[in-house]
Structure 1
Amino acid sequence: MPGLRRDELAQLAGVGLSYYTRLEQGLSLNASPEVLDALARASRRTGTRRRPAPERAGDTTRQLLAAFGDAPAVVLGRRSDVLAWNRMGHTLFAGHLDPHIPDQPDQRPNTAWLVFLDAHTRDLYAEDWPKKARDVVGKLRLAAGQHPDDPRLAALIGELTMKSPEFAGMWSEHRVRRWDLATYRMHHPVVGRMQLNLQTLNVPQVDGQRIVVATAEAGTGSAAALSLLAQAGIASGVRSVRQAGRTEAAGSPR
């Protein structure tokens, strides 16, 4: 089912097409709250009729994710929503979030949103945040070109444009970037500094889904830090299971 077209959204919101286009592209930064509310209402009005089926990570994709073991890996959808992650993917990229949140389609974290609007993620990329931010924007602009009628993608771009001047500035540069390998200096709150390679693998036979895997050069301090983070993640998981067991026991009838 096709998504909401740009001219339809502008018409339903009562704004001009050219104005809405400038707003979407980050060229107009003075939209009033009334205009933003009108655009949100217009999206919701046709959302149930036009919204594409929610993305999900298939069983074989989850099997592949588990096969990476202690290598952090996440599955991303066409809007860069996190569809799934393995234990280390959650520990490395978003340990401050509920590990089960990707299973809730309306609550899934979005990597672009996290990079620009989440303090934990911004600190994670530390010295290389500008590089990571531009890579994210380039990937998002590529997605916008491939899915121009996706209302949720348009809403994400609009929110980032309104809430992040840095995003708005980078978005207005109109740079499209498809990257399959990138190296970032990262700083994790548990194990400190690491230099990691992030590699992107397309999910076979699923349009728009990809797996991002983090690795470090063998024998380096970064590899040792990843190993230490894996051990810390296991210990944290054991504590969570024990705590859940104690909670369940405390609530059981005697």
Structure 2
Amino acid sequence: MPPEESAARRAEALPGLNVLLRSWRSRAGTRLGLGKPLPQVDVAGRVGMSERWYRDLERGTLPRLDPRVLAGLADVLVLDADERATLYLYALGGTPYVAPPVPGRAPDLHALQELLDRQMPRPAYLTDSSWNVIGHNRAMAEWFPWVLAPDANLIRWGLTSDEAREQMLDWPQHARMYLAMVRFAMAQHPDDPGLAALLTDVLRDPTCRRFWQERTCVVANRDGHLFRLRLPHVSPDVIDAVTQVLIPAGHQGLRFVVVN
């Protein structure tokens, strides 16, 4: 597939702000007990703008949006923290400042690897912005041997491997959350080729493609979420695990994850 065709397909698959706004407005009506989507005129009035302004917003026009208007829009649509962040990313492209990497110099991860090792006997791992596993401790390799592969990727494994579907109880729910995380990451880093390639791979799976098309939710991470795992090589019983997701201050494009 030519690169330009692949990029076009990804652009069609990824919902724009207008699609998210329509989804959020429909859900807001449900949450407010209206039995129907919150009317466009009500959304516009509550943020102090004209109905035409909001109607154009849902059609794909992106006028200048200041933080005050965005805050009001988030309140009216009853957005959670991750959805608010996504709204700001689409509207302003704003992200906290992160020092760019020095070209040609690999990040020094020795201190983070030492911290991973200190989490024993709890599994712990480190991923980049595309969920490639770039560090892990011994317990992580014992629980999940797939991390030893040179191209190990958490999202790709979690969404496309038969092993993940067997080991993760309630896999469909986890799959939907993983896809929501990909959607958030692509809003945050729309030009990241690693994320684009990951999405292309994942959407080749019919079940994942259906899940992607069914929902437009966004999730920044799964910090504090409970996982129920079936790992007979670790324990004969189902394992209840909670993930803690940390962002290293010196490497804000990475995720440091501990499984408790």
Q: TM-score, normalised by structure 2?
A: 0.58
- 3-state SS of the aligned residue for 2:158? helix
- 3-state SS of the aligned residue for 2:156? helix
Aligned pairs for 1:216-231 within 5 A: none
CA contact (8 A) 2:159 2:178 kept: no
**Does 2:191 match 1:152?**
no
Give the structure 2 partner of residue 68 of structure 1.
119
- Quote how far apart the aligned CAs of 1:23 are: 4.6
**Does 2:122 match 1:132?**
no
1:117 maps to amino acid: T
Segments of 5+ residues of structure 1 without an aligned counterpart are: 1-9, 26-51, 102-106, 216-254
2:129 to 78, 103, 115: 78
Distance across 1 between alignment mates of 2:201 and 2:7: 18
Distance across 2 between alignment mates of 1:20 and 1:214: 32
- 3-state SS of the aligned residue for 2:241? strand
**Does 2:142 match 1:142?**
no
Distance across 1 between alignment mates of 2:10 and 2:248: 34
Segments of 5+ residues of structure 2 without an aligned counterpart are: 16-102
Give the structure 2 partner of residue 89 of structure 1.
140
Deviations, residues 201-247 of structure 1 (Å, cap 9, x unaligned): 112221221111111xxxxxxxxxxxxxxxxxxxxxxxxxxxxxxxx
Q: 1:108 to 1:54 in 2, by over 3 A?
A: farther
Distance across 1 between alignment mates of 2:132 and 2:156: 9
Aligned pairs for 1:30-69 within 5 A: 58-69=109-120
Give the structure 1 partner of residue 248 of structure 2.
203
Deviations, residues 167-210 of structure 1 (Å, cap 9, x unaligned): 11222322111231110111002113111111111122212211
Superposition CA RMSD, Å:
2.8
- Quote how far apart the aligned CAs of 1:57 are: 6.5
Distance across 2 between alignment mates of 1:176 and 1:20: 17
CA contact (8 A) 2:113 2:135 kept: yes
**Does 2:237 match 1:186?**
no
CA contact (8 A) 2:246 2:256 kept: yes
Distance across 1 between alignment mates of 2:151 and 2:105: 11
Q: 1:205 to 1:75 in 2, by over 3 A?
A: same
Distance across 1 between alignment mates of 2:14 and 2:105: 23
The count of residues paired between Structure 1 and Structure 2 equals: 170
- 3-state SS of the aligned residue for 1:207? coil
Q: 1:17 to 1:189 in 2, by over 3 A?
A: closer
Higher RCO by CA contacts (8 Å cutoff, separation 6 or greater): 1
Q: 1:16 to 1:199 in 2, by over 3 A?
A: closer
Give the structure 2 partner of residue 33 of structure 1.
none
